[in-house]
Structure 1
Amino acid sequence: MATGVPPTTSINNTILNHNNKKRSSDNEDYGYNSMIITKKAAIAAKEDPVAALASARHEFGEHGGVNMSIEASATFTVMEPETMRRLFSGELGPDRDYFIYSRHFNPTVLNLGRLMAALEGTEAAYCTASGMSAISSVLLQLVGAGGHIVASQTLYGGTHALLTHFLPRTSGINTTFVDICDHAAIKAAIVEGMTKVVYFESVSNPTLTVADIPEVCKIAREKGVIVVVDNTFAPVVISPARLGADVVVHSISKYISGGADIIAGAVCGPASLLNSMMDLHQGALMLLGPTMNAKVAFELSERLPHLGLRMKEHCARALEFAKRMKKLGLKVIYPGLEDHPQHELLKSICSQEYGYGGILCVDMETEERANRLMYQLQNCTQFGFMAVSLGYYETLMSCSGSSTSSEMSEEEKARAGISPGLVRMSIGYTGTLEQKWAQFEKALGKLQDVKFSVRHK
C-alpha cells in the first residue's frame, strides 16, 4: 500500500474495486508509470544517494505495518474478461495497479526497483534474478544482431566471457576491448552506425582502475552511443548516472545485500528503456525471464536503508588496512591511497563522505605466494574467508587470476593488468579494527615459517 492509503483498506474491498482502482500516490509522480521515482526523490537523487533513498516513496503493509506486505502471487485475477484483454494489449498496467503475471511485473519487486532508481539517481529501475541476467538483458535489448560494443579490457570474468564468446556466437554481436583510461582509444574504437554501447565498470574488477565517467560519457554522447556502467563495486560511493551515464547495472548480491545469502541484479535507467525491456512481445527481461522472487525483493528492500552506514565502515577499514599494509612494504592497490593512479579522479567523482571503496588488492606476484597468504589468513588467524564475491560483513579473499577472472586467457589477463598473485580482499567490518589488523600481521609473520600444500578439488 502506498503512502496516503488508509491502512483499514481490506483485501476484499481491494478485489471488489479492482476494475476501478487507480494508483495510490500523491501528485508528485511523473506521468503514470509506477517504476518512475517521484519529483521529490528525483531532486534528492541529484545529490546524495542516501538522501535520495530516504525521499523515495515508502510502501506500508496491507494492514498499516511500517514494512510493506509481500505480494507472493505468481498470477493476478481480474473481475471482468475485458480487463484481461486490455492488460495484454497494454492499455492497463502496473501504473494503475493492474498486474498480469509476476514474470512481467510484481508489486513487491516494483517497489525495490523504485528504491534502486532513487539510489542511483535514474528515472526507473527493474530488479532481476542475478547481476549477470541484468547485464546480458540490457545489452541484448540495446544492441541488435550484428551490432558492436566498446568495452573496458578489465571486467569481471563472467562479463568478459559474455562479450568475448557468448554474444558473438549467438547474436553476432562483437566487442572491441580498450583501456578505459585511454580516451583516444575509446574514440577510435567507436564505429559510426555500428557501435551501440560503451560498457565498463565504475571501479574495475579486480584491478580497481577508476573510470573517468564524465569524460567517457562525453565521448559517447558526441558519437550517439549509450553508456552502460556496472557499479557493483561502488554503490553510494560513486553514482554513474549522476555523472552522465545512461544505464547503471548492479549485482545486488554484493554490497546492497550485504549478507552473502541472496543472488540478485538490477538495471537502472530511463523509464522508456525499462518499459521496452518489459514489453510483452519484444522485451529482453520479459522474454528471457530472469525474474526476481518477491520474497527476495522484500529482503533487499529492508537492507537498502542501512547501505550507507555499511559502506562507510567497509571503506574506512579498507583505507586503514591499505595504509598499514603499504607501510609493511606490501604492494597494495587501493584507490583511496594517494599513490593510486586515479586517486585524484576518484576524489573528484565520489561521495567522499562514504569513502573510497571497500575493496583492496595485495599483489603477492605469484599464485603460490598468494595462496600461502590466504591460507594463513583464513586457517591460522581467522582474518577472513577464502571465497569469491564481495560486500559481506566478513572479509572475503580470492586470487582473482585463478578464480573470478579465470574465464580470461593469460594474454587477456596480462593486458588487463591482472597479476597471477593478485589477492582481492573485500574488507568486512566484524570485530574491532585492531583485532583484525593483529590477525593480518600474525598471518604475515608466519609466511616464511610454515609450508603446506594447497589441495585442489
Structure 2
Amino acid sequence: MSRKELNISTKLLHGVWASEIDAGAMVTPIYQNSAFAYDSAEAIEAVFAGRQAGYVYSRMGNPTLTQLERSLTALEDGLGAISTSSGMAAITSTVLALAESGDEIVSGNSIFGGTYSLLHSTLARSGIKTTFVESTDVQAFRNAITDRTKLVFIETIGNPKLDVPDFFAITEVAHEKGVALVADNTITPSLFQPKKAGADIVIHSTTKFINGHGNAIGGAIIDTGIFDWAGKRYRHLDNIRKRTGNFAFLAFLRNQIHRDMGTCQAPFNAFLTSIGIESLALRMERHSLNAMKVASFLASDKRIVEVRYPGLETHPDHKVADKQFENGYGALLTLRLRDRGSCFKFINSLKRAQNAANIGDVRTLVIHPASTFCRELTGEERLAVGASDNLIRFSIGIEHADDIISDIDESLSNI
C-alpha cells in the first residue's frame, strides 16, 4: 500500500526537512556566511565542476535557502525552486532565462503596477517586447502569440482589478503554441496550485502571504516539471539540457542568470520566510474567511458604489474562481466610493487597518492604488488594471472579522 499523500498544511511542517543540515534543530538554522571552505583544492574544484554537490558562495546557494526552496517546491508540487531577493527579481530572472532581445512576451493587462512597469518599460529597453491583452480573454492570448513569443504571463488574481483568468484555458492555448506559461501565484498560495491547471513556472513574491508577517523581502521561482524544454523556442537551453534533462530551466537559471544578476535572497530573510510558510495554509483559510465576511457585509451597503471580491456571486469571474480555488478566494477585496476625496477621508478615518503598500500581512492593510503603486501609469493603463480614482484596495488580515467590519463601518460613517 502506497503512503498517503500529505495535505499541504502538514507537508509544510513535516515533509520537507533537510536532514543533512538539521543537527537536531527543529527550526531552520541561519547560515549567515558568504563563502564555504573545503579541505582540499580537489574538493572545491569538484563542486565548481558540478561533479559533487556543495555550497561555495551564498550568492549561488546556501543551506538556509535550500530549506526554504524545498518548502516552496512542496507548496507548488514542483520539480525544484530558486529563492530570490524579491518578487520582482523572480519575474526579471525568469524572463531573462527564457527571452533575449528581439523576443516577445504575452501578458494579461490587469497585472500588478510594478510588474506592468517592468514588462512595459524596463524590459522593452532591452529589446524584449510585451503584448498586453485582456486577462480574461482566452482568444486574445491565442491571437497575440507569435513565432518570437517565449512566455505567457498571468496572475492568478489581477491586482487591483481582482479579475480571475481561466488558467486551464490559457495554459492550453500556450501549450498548443509550444510556449511556457508563467503564473504569478503571490495572491493565492495554498488556495490554488497552478500546476493543476498546467502552468509551467510559478512565481511568488514571498514577501506577501508566504512570509505573512511583513518582516522579510523575498521572491521565488518554481519549475512545475510539466514543460518540455527541448522545444524549438528554447534552443539556448539545449547544451545544459543534455546534462540536466528536465532540470534545464532551473540549472540555467541558477548557474547563469541567478548567479550573474546577483538576485539571491539573504539567509536571514529566508529564515524568517521559512518560519512564515509553516503557518501559510492556516493563515490563508482565515484571510479568506474574513475577506468573505467583509465582502458580504459591504455587498448591500448603500454608502459604497461597489465591492469586488471573487467569492461573491456578483463578481463577473466568480464561476472561474469557484472552479480554480480551494478553501477560499484570498484576502484581497476592493471597494469604490464617490471620488478620490472620499477615498482619502475613508482611509484616514480607519483606526486599525494600516495604510501600507503591501499585501499578505497578518494585519489588515489598505491603500489607494491610483495615487500610489499605479500612479506612473497612464489613464488608459490604470483603467486596464482597474485602478480608478475612486478605488480602495484591502488586504484583509487575520484579526477577528467583527473588528475588521466595525473599523470599516465606522470609517464609512465619516464620509
TM-score (normalised: structure 2): 0.90
Q: Name the structure 1 match of 2:314.
A: 339
8 Å contact from structure 2 (residues 16, 74) kept in 1: no
Q: 2:119 aligns with which of 163, 166, 176?
A: 163
Q: What is the one-letter code of the residue matched to 2:105?
A: I
Shift of 1:62: 4.5
Matches within 5 A, 1:3-402: 44=6, 48-54=7-13, 56-59=15-18, 62-93=22-53, 98-169=54-125, 171-192=126-147, 194-269=148-223, 270=225, 271-279=247-255, 283-329=256-302, 330=304, 331-351=306-326, 353=327, 355-377=328-350, 382-402=351-371
Shift of 1:388: 1.0
8 Å contact from structure 1 (residues 52, 121) kept in 2: no
SS in 2 for 1:446: coil
Q: What is the one-letter code of the residue matched to 1:438?
A: S
8 Å contact from structure 1 (residues 56, 114) kept in 2: no
Shift of 1:51: 4.6
Aligned-residue Cα RMSD (Å) equals 1.7
Identity %: 32
| Higher RCO (CA < 8 A, seq sep 6+) | 2
SS in 2 for 1:278: helix
1:333-383, Cα deviation, whole Å (9 max, x unpaired)? 0000001111111111111x2x11111000125222211111111xxxx13
State the distance in 2 between where 1:127 and 1:440 align. Answer: 36
State the distance in 2 between where 1:369 and 1:139 align. Answer: 40
Report the structure number with the largest CA radius of gyration. 1
8 Å contact from structure 1 (residues 131, 252) kept in 2: yes
Q: Name the structure 1 match of 2:244.
A: none
List, as ranges, runs of 4+ consecutive aligned residues in structure 1 with deviation greater than 4 Å. none
State the distance in 1 between where 2:270 and 2:352 align. Answer: 31
Q: What is the one-letter code of the residue matched to 2:51?
A: E
Q: What is the one-letter code of the residue matched to 1:439?
A: D
State the distance in 2 between where 1:421 and 1:102 align. Answer: 45
8 Å contact from structure 1 (residues 365, 419) kept in 2: no
Q: Name the structure 2 match of 1:439.
A: 407
- Number of aligned residue pairs: 389
8 Å contact from structure 1 (residues 202, 211) kept in 2: yes
Shift of 1:433: 2.2
TM-score (normalised: structure 1): 0.82
SS in 2 for 1:79: coil
What are structure 1's unaligned runs of at least 5 residues? 1-38, 448-457
Shift of 1:216: 0.5
State the distance in 2 between where 1:62 and 1:313 align. Answer: 31
What are structure 2's unaligned runs of at least 5 residues? 226-246
State the distance in 1 between where 2:336 and 2:23 align. Answer: 54
Shift of 1:55: 5.5
Shift of 1:322: 0.4
Name the CA shift for 1:191/1:310 in 2 (closer, same or farther; >3 Å): same
Shift of 1:52: 4.2
8 Å contact from structure 1 (residues 49, 120) kept in 2: no
8 Å contact from structure 1 (residues 108, 298) kept in 2: yes
